[in-house]
């Protein structure tokens, strides 16, 4: 008989375990923030402590590394312990709005927070189908051609890098190419022809110095990382044709045909750049090794810039902390320059855009927004509103954003000073309005990686010889075809 009871007890016990977790229980926090940026996960713990000390409200923070983030948020937001504030990017909002989780500014109860929502410049507002205002931007990010200014000063024997920067911004594409070629000749032979930027002549030092002798190539290129060209170079043709992410979503498929020539030109720019790529011990040509992750991975490319093996690297302001870990000295000398593509009037058809403006501008965008969960209870939403407002406006909160997160606040102006020189440059471009929007964010989800980036890596980077026009045209056509079939999902 005892055996019988043991059997039944075991059955009941196991069943109980299976169905447990369905019980009601008190939440041990006031605000639950689902964060989408792993870089700031640690700092957010200090934010939570600080906020609790100041207001007595407990904040729970949860962070998932970028690529799994939306899957986790999807299940988390449907659970009983849903986040009351969560992170979304500009295009992900479609999901959260359609599922009813994104709260619009009009429903905000805290009048000060409402004012903050309304103070967001139109180009940065988190909208869905051109309507609403669903989030407060985390920060501004941007990318371009990053250079080591001390290296440039050394090679060009000039102290006035600011002048160089102005001339570079205004320089034509041919001038840009001449500059790269002269620099390449300097690296290979210790001398190079004079070149002009914006009509100003720049002279190249003869002979290597202690500072320049480690150079192996002009540009550090992360050939193994599809996103560094798929998501970035892929944006230039899109920016030439579409003005904003809403323009991308609202235009018909025929507009995508105008992408062809701009895509071909962006590919030609990649071909040009990869001719001058730096490697660990010498120049690294295109070919199988060019996409080897242990030779041209993201970390390897950053290392080449930091260790002065390359003068330039195309990437974003977020590389600062990685460079800093390798060389404090290089990190503080970084400057951000625009990427140049040989677009002309026929290529640039986007409203309000000209080839000249594209030539001197860099793409800046908001990567994530704080969104308040519309399905949370009124009280939870209140707490969430207070927290978001505190983080983005209080002295302590802003101090965290600028110094701990190392973010460029979305409302930064010329008075904002940051440690990261690249972030300061972003503010400079923003103040001068030399900006490209990031319509790329609205492109079909996998276009950058699985079309543009994939073709570049699999068909072009592995090819040692020059790329033929026929090849480039075919790739551009495939990219447009993928773009259109991606549109069917909208």
Partner 1 sequence: MENFYKRWFKILVIPAVILFFVVIIIPFIMGITYSFTAWRGSYFKGSENWWGALVGVTNYIKVFRSEKFLSALVFTVKFTVVAVIMKNIASLGMAMMVKKVSAGKGFFRTVFFFPNLLGGLAMGFVWSFIFQNIFSLVLFGGESAIKIPFLCDMLQDPNKAIFAMALMATWQSAGYMLLIYLNGLNNIPDDLYEAASIDGATPWQKFKNITLPMLMPAFTIVFFLTLSQSFKMLDENLALTSGNFGTRMLSLQILLSTRENIPANYGMAQAQAIIFFILIAVISVAQVTVTKRKEIEA
Binding footprint of partner 1 on the chain (CB under 8 A): 3-4, 7-8, 10-11, 13-15, 18, 67, 70-71, 74, 77-78, 91-92, 94-96, 98-101, 226, 288-289, 291-294, 444-446, 450, 454, 457-458, 462, 486, 489
**Between 271 and 459, CB nearer to partner 1:** 459
**Between 161 and 462, CB nearer to partner 1:** 462
DSSP of 77-112? HTSSS--SEEEE-TTTHHHHHHTT-BPPGGG---HH
Residue 363 C-beta: closest distance to partner 1, Å: 19
Q: HSE on the CB side for 179, CA within 13 Å?
A: 24
CA distance 381 to 64: 22
Residue 290 C-beta: closest distance to partner 1, Å: 10
With CA atoms as reference, report the closest residue to 338 among 435, 438, 210.
435
**Between 7 and 253, CB nearer to partner 1:** 7
**Between 268 and 375, CB nearer to partner 1:** 375
- Distance from chain centroid for Cα 220: 18
Residue 91 C-beta: closest distance to partner 1, Å: 5
**Between 146 and 457, CB nearer to partner 1:** 457
**Sheet containing 85-88, strands listed edge to edge, beginning at the edge strand earlier in sequence:** 59-63, 31-35, 85-88, 369-372, 136-137
Q: From start to end of 263-349, where are the E strands? A: 310-316, 334-337
Residue 19 C-beta: closest distance to partner 1, Å: 8
**Between 114 and 375, CB nearer to partner 1:** 375
**Between 291 and 412, CB nearer to partner 1:** 291
**Between 98 and 112, CB nearer to partner 1:** 98
Residue 75 C-beta: closest distance to partner 1, Å: 9
CA distance 156 to 153: 5
CA distance 186 to 205: 8
Determine the 3-state secondary structure of 214 from DSSP: coil
Residue 98 C-beta: closest distance to partner 1, Å: 5
**Between 68 and 395, CB nearer to partner 1:** 68
Residue 289 C-beta: closest distance to partner 1, Å: 8
Residue 241 C-beta: closest distance to partner 1, Å: 20
CA distance 343 to 356: 9
461 phi and psi angles, rounded to 5 deg: -65, -30
Contacts of 182 (CB under 8 A, 6+ apart): 192, 193, 194, 195, 204
Look-up of token digits 């700092």:
43
Q: What is the sign of the dihedral through the CA atoms of 49, 52, 55 and 61? A: positive
CA distance 58 to 50: 10
**Between 88 and 178, CB nearer to partner 1:** 88
Determine the 3-state secondary structure of 200 from DSSP: strand
With CA atoms as reference, report the closest residue to 301 among 142, 146, 425, 464.
146
Residue 281 C-beta: closest distance to partner 1, Å: 12
- Distance from chain centroid for Cα 445: 15
Q: Are 234 and 436 in contact (CB under 8 A)?
A: no
Residue 487 C-beta: closest distance to partner 1, Å: 11
């Amino acid at each position: 008989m005892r055996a019988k009871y043991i059997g039944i007890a075991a059955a009941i016990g196991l069943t109980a375990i299976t169905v447990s977790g369905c019980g009601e229980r008190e939440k041990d926090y006031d605000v639950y923030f689902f964060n989408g940026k792993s870089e700031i996960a640690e700092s957010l713990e200090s934010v939570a402590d600080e906020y609790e000390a100041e207001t007595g409200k407990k904040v729970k923070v949860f962070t998932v590394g970028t690529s799994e983030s939306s899957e986790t948020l999807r299940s988390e937001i449907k659970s009983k312990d849903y986040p009351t504030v969560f992170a979304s990017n500009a295009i992900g909002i479609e999901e959260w709005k359609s599922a009813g989780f994104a709260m619009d500014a009009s429903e905000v109860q805290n009048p000060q927070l409402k004012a903050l929502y309304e103070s967001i410049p139109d180009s940065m507002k988190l909208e869905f189908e051109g309507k609403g205002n669903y989030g407060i931007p985390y920060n501004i990010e941007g990318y371009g051609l990053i250079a080591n200014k001390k290296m440039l000063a050394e090679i060009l024997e000039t102290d006035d890098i600011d002048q160089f920067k102005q001339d570079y911004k205004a320089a034509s594409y041919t001038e840009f190419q001449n500059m790269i070629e002269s620099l390449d000749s300097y690296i290979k032979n210790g001398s190079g022809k004079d070149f002009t930027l914006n009509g100003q002549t720049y002279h190249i030092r003869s002979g290597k110095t202690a500072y320049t002798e480690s150079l192996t190539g002009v540009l550090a290129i992360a050939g193994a990382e599809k996103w560094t060209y798929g998501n970035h170079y892929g944006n230039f043709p899109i920016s030439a044709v579409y003005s904003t992410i809403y323009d991308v979503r609202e235009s018909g498929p025929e507009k995508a045909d105008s992408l062809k020539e701009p895509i071909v030109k962006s590919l030609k720019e990649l071909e040009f750049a990869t001719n001058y790529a730096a490697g660990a011990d010498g120049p690294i040509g295109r070919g199988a090794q060019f996409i080897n992750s242990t030779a041209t991975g993201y970390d390897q490319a950053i290392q080449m810039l930091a260790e002065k093996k390359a003068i330039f690297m195309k990437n974003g302001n977020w590389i600062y902390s990685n460079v800093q870990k390798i060389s404090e000295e290089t990190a503080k000398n970084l400057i951000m320059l625009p990427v140049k593509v040989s677009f002309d009037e026929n290529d640039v058809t986007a409203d309000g855009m000209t080839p000249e403006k594209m030539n001197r501008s860099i793409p800046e965008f908001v990567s994530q927004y704080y969104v308040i969960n519309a399905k949370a209870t009124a009280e939870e939403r209140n707490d969430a509103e207070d927290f978001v407002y505190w983080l983005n406006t209080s002295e302590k909160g802003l101090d965290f954003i600028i110094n701990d997160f190392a973010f460029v606040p979305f409302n930064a102006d010329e008075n904002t000073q940051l440690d990261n020189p690249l972030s300061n440059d972003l503010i400079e471009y923003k103040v001068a309005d030399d900006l490209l929007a990031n319509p790329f964010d609205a492109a079909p989800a996998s276009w950058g990686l699985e079309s543009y980036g994939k073709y570049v890596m699999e068909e072009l980077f592995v090819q040692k010889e020059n790329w033929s026009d026929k090849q480039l045209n075919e790739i551009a056509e495939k990219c447009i075809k993928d773009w259109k079939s991606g549109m069917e999902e909208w």
